[in-house]
Structure 1
């Protein structure tokens, strides 16, 4: 039995199969996660992310990220503090949220591996 990687509750349940990959859903926090058996190795994951164009100045990338940023910004209180978990090599989402007046800490296992930001609570976590 696996534990939820978000809240550590025991026993996420099978939820969905997409292209042969199984996803589990936590009954406590409702996080949906890929079955560990289908995850990439750390080297494969890093190599995949390095193929992305994550330039914070790229208007097309910012338009793509606005699909996440705009609904999030609509719900945040002024000055909310957050964590961009999985910020990647060019933390464009964090830049957009900072431009809107929010403090944003960064964590990424490959590109911003300092775990200190994980030790505190935030008003929001974007991942």
Structure 2
């Protein structure tokens, strides 16, 4: 079996089993992931996503997304915002973060395989690429990660929001893994591995936010 992120062969071993699924971990990149036979179908995924009730008027959700926006603000302020291009990848049915960045002057595009499958948006390079609460849904994250590497311009920033794996003991009782659509779980070590391999400077401004600045 190959790791779904770094594609290393025979580096994964058992990490945890609960009542619903088995989880494996790659010793190369540290990704924890759901064993392939437990991956949900696209139909089940869409049913779950349709239950999300995030909206442009939801102040609580805007505050939540502010954890990504706050560390991006220095970049936006240091540059003529109108000259910056951005992509909200995995924006969902209500692209609230894209709207917030647009309010700051960034020229935003959106992409989501279910709700905004605009393939033309994936043909450009961007100064800012955001991926909030989406990367944990990727069944084959090596594919999206390779895409991110193409989408982020030199000197650009990839801003990701996802809760991070800490250790086995806390994983066992972690509510985050109980969502059937959450199948790929990253740690600081995983992001550091990717940064070193692919030429990024990485920082962790919040416990569920990571910034990857492309060298």
TM bin, normalised by shorter chain, reads 0.7 to 0.9
| Larger-gyration structure (1/2) | 2
Identify, as 1 or 2, the structure richer in helix. 2
Give the distance between the partners of 1:70 and 1:15, measured in 2 at CA.
37
Shift in Å, 1:2:
4.6
From the superposition, tell whether residues 2 and 124 of structure 1 become closer, same or farther in structure 2 (CA, over 3 Å). Answer: same
Q: Is the 8 A contact 1:73 1:97 kept in 2?
A: no
Residues 47-56 or 33-42, more deviating? 33-42
Shift in Å, 1:74:
3.0
More relative contact order in 1 or in 2 (CA 8 Å, sep 6+)? 2
Q: Tell me the SS of whatever aligns to 1:64.
A: helix
Q: TM-score, normalised by structure 1?
A: 0.74
Q: TM-score, normalised by structure 2?
A: 0.47
Q: How many pairs does the alignment contain? A: 120
From the superposition, tell whether residues 61 and 35 of structure 1 become closer, same or farther in structure 2 (CA, over 3 Å). Answer: same
Give the distance between the partners of 1:124 and 1:15, measured in 2 at CA.
35
Shift in Å, 1:65:
1.0
Match of 1:113 among 113, 117, 129: 117
Shift in Å, 1:50:
1.2
Match of 2:74 in 1: 74
Match of 2:56 in 1: 56
Q: Identify unmatched segments of 5+ residues in structure 2.
A: 132-215
Match of 2:105 in 1: 101
Match of 1:22 in 2: 24
Shift in Å, 1:88:
0.4
Q: Identify unmatched segments of 5+ residues in structure 1.
A: none
Output the aligned Cα RMSD.
Answer: 3.0
Give the distance between the partners of 2:111 and 2:28, measured in 1 at CA.
23
Q: Tell me the SS of whatever aligns to 2:126.
A: coil
Give the distance between the partners of 1:81 and 1:16, measured in 2 at CA.
41
Give the distance between the partners of 2:121 and 2:98, measured in 1 at CA.
14
Identify, as 1 or 2, the structure richer in strand. 2
